[in-house]
A and B are shown apart, each in its own frame.
Chain A
Amino acid sequence: MSAIQTAGGDSRTRSYGSKAGLGPPRRRVPRVAGWLGAAPLLVFTAVVFGLVLGTMMVGAFTTPESAPGGARLTGANMSASLHGPYLTALIGSVKLSAVSALIATVVGLPIAHVVVTSRFRALREAVLAASGVLANFGGVPLAFAFVATLGNAGVLTSQFHLLSHGWNLYSFWGLTLVYLYFLIPLMVLTLTPALEGLRRQWREAARNNRANTFRYWTHVALPILMPSLLGGYVLLFGTAFSAYATAAAMVGSSVPLVTMQIADALSGNVLVGQGNVALALGVDMVLVAGLIVAIQLPLQRRSARWLA
Chain B
Amino acid sequence: MTDLTSTLETISRTRTGATVEFRGLQRSFGATTALDGLDLTVEPGELVALLGPSGCGKTTALRTLAGFERPDSGTLLVDGEDITGVPAHRRDVGMVFQSYSLFPHLTAIDNVAFGLRMSGVGKAARRARSAELLELVGLPQHAGRFPHQLSGGQQQRIALARALALRPRVLLLDEPLSALDAQVRLTLREEIRRLQQQLGITTLFVTHDQEEALSMADRVAVMRAGRLEQCAPPAELYEHPATAFVAEFVGVMSRIPARSGADDGTVDALGRTLPVHGRLPGAAEVAGGTGEVDVLVRPEAIEVTADGKGTSRIVGATFLGATTRLTVRLTDGGEVMTDVPTHAMATLPVGAPVTLTLPDRPVLVDRHRRGNSGRDGS
Q: Identify the A interface with B (CB < 8 A).
A: 199, 201-202, 204-212, 215, 219-220, 223-224, 305-308
Chain B residues 69-108 with CB under 8 Å of chain A are 87-90, 93-95, 97-105
Q: Is the CB–CB distance between B166 and A210 below 8 Å?
A: yes
Task: Chain B residues near A209: list those with CB within 8 A.
Answer: 89, 114-115, 118, 162, 165-166
Q: Is the CB–CB distance between A208 and B103 below 8 Å?
A: no
Please tell me if B163 contacts chain A, counting CB pairs below 8 Å: yes
Q: Is the CB–CB distance between B105 and A208 below 8 Å?
A: no
Q: Is the CB–CB distance between B118 and A208 below 8 Å?
A: no
Given contacts A210-B166, A224-B103, contact A219 B97 (CB under 8 A): no
Please tell me if B68 contacts chain A, counting CB pairs below 8 Å: yes
CA distance A211 to B114 in the complex (A): 9
Please tell me if B67 contacts chain A, counting CB pairs below 8 Å: yes
Task: Chain A residues near B119: list those with CB within 8 A.
Answer: 210
Q: Is the CB–CB distance between A211 and B118 below 8 Å?
A: yes
Expressed in whole angstroms, the minimum distance between the Cβ of A70 and any Cβ of chain B is 59
CA distance A38 to B343 in the complex (A): 63
Complex: chain B residue closest to A201, CB-CB? B101
Expressed in whole angstroms, the minimum distance between the Cβ of B171 and any Cβ of chain A is 11
Expressed in whole angstroms, the minimum distance between the Cβ of B255 and any Cβ of chain A is 42
Given contacts A211-B89, A212-B89, A305-B148, contact A206 B114 (CB under 8 A): yes
CA distance A7 to B102 in the complex (A): 26
Task: Chain B residues near A308: list those with CB within 8 A.
Answer: 148
Task: Chain A residues near B94: list those with CB within 8 A.
Answer: 208
Chain B residues 89-137 with CB under 8 Å of chain A are 89-90, 93-95, 97-105, 114-115, 117-119
Q: Is the CB–CB distance between B118 and A223 below 8 Å?
A: no
**B163 CB contact (under 8 Å) in A202, A208, A307:** A208
Please tell me if B66 contacts chain A, counting CB pairs below 8 Å: yes
The total number of A-B Cβ pairs within 8 Å is 73
Q: Is the CB–CB distance between B118 and A204 below 8 Å?
A: no
Q: Is the CB–CB distance between A207 and B68 below 8 Å?
A: yes
In terms of DSSP, what is the predominant structure of the interface of chain A?
A: helix
Expressed in whole angstroms, the minimum distance between the Cβ of B29 and any Cβ of chain A is 12
CA distance A308 to B159 in the complex (A): 19
Task: Chain A residues near B95: list those with CB within 8 A.
Answer: 204-205, 208
Chain A to chain B contacts (Cβ below 8 Å), 18 pairs? A202-B101, A204-B101, A205-B95, A205-B101, A205-B159, A206-B103, A207-B67, A207-B68, A207-B87, A209-B89, A211-B89, A211-B118, A212-B87, A219-B114, A220-B103, A224-B103, A224-B104, A306-B105
Expressed in whole angstroms, the minimum distance between the Cβ of B361 and any Cβ of chain A is 48
Given contacts A210-B90, A210-B166, contact A204 B103 (CB under 8 A): no
CA distance A205 to B114 in the complex (A): 10
Q: Is the CB–CB distance between A204 and B66 below 8 Å?
A: yes
CA distance A151 to B97 in the complex (A): 55
Complex: chain A residue closest to B91, CB-CB? A208
CA distance A207 to B94 in the complex (A): 10
Task: Chain B residues near A210: list those with CB within 8 A.
Answer: 89-90, 115, 118-119, 166
**B88 CB contact (under 8 Å) in A204, A220, A224:** A204
Other 6 A-B pairs with CB < 8 A, given A207-B89, A220-B105: A204-B68, A205-B97, A209-B162, A215-B118, A224-B103, A307-B104
Expressed in whole angstroms, the minimum distance between the Cβ of A13 and any Cβ of chain B is 17
Given contacts A205-B95, A207-B67, A210-B89, contact A199 B100 (CB under 8 A): yes
